[in-house]
Amino acid sequence: MTGASDPVVDVLIAEPVIAERVTGLAKDIARSEPEDLLIVVILKGSFVFAADLIRALDRAGAKPRVDFMTLSSYGKGVKSSGSVTLSRDISEDVAGRHVLIVDDILESGRTLMFARDLMTERGAVSVKTCLLLDKTGKREVPIEADFTGFEIGDRFVIGYGLDLAHRYRGPPYIGVVRGG
Ligand code: IMP
Ligand code: MG
């Protein structure tokens, strides 16, 4: 159902383009994968990406463990609130493990920095990061991803798991909200 208040969305990255890139990322990760990799998926935005990436990793021969952590920094709007909140933790023990953090989009860098520091504090042997999207030029803290799907400009995107005020996670493509 669509409503009069739904935003106009233009396709920025189409479904087959995403699929091809996810396969490429999985191959890169599998090539550098240490034994007994633990993937930590940052919810909610990356659940669709993570589901595809984990299946692509399996096809590439990697058999990681997977756990989930919910972090939020956005509240209901399109602007980051600045502070990161941990509302659901992983249950896996991180000490002595090789961790790969998977998230949807890198903007200010605060979410990724929070997650990476937490894994390091808990004694991870190594912490790498895989981000579907990177809003280059928007960084407020110094952090870059080890594996990046696509670089995009400063525009608000939805779909493929990414939300606008907790909606529009469903489209299989990445779309730009017109005027956003
Ligand atoms: P950062 O902490 O500023 O790097 O923001 C990263 C988080 O903000 C991501 O994990 C997303 O959940 C959210 N986010 C940033 N940009 C967008 C966007 O364009 N659409 C939807 N969510 C976004
Ligand atoms: Mg997120």
- pLDDT for residue 76 is more than 60: no
pLDDT at residue 132 tops 80:
yes
Ligand 1 proximity of 74 Cβ (cutoff 6 Å):
yes
- Cα 99 to Cα 33, 43, 85, 111, 115, distances in angstroms: 10, 16, 20, 16, 11
The pLDDT score that the predictor gives to residue 180 is 64
Confidence of residue 151 (pLDDT cuts 50, 70, 90): very high
Which numbered atom of ligand 1 lies nearest the CA of 156? 19
Please tell me the distance between residue 105's alpha carbon and the centre of ligand 1 in angstroms: 5
Q: Is the pLDDT assigned to residue 131 strictly greater than 60?
A: yes
Using the predicted structure, report yes or no on whether residue 78 has a pLDDT greater than 70: no
pTM beyond 0.85, yes or no? yes
Cβ–ligand 1 contact at 175 (below 6 Å): no
pLDDT digits (tens, 9 = 90+) for 50-70: 999 999 999 999 999 999 999
Q: Which of 42, 81, 104, 117 to mutate to test the pocket of ligand 1 (most atoms within 8 A of CB)?
A: 104
Query: pLDDT class for 35, splitting at 50, 70, 90?
Result: confident
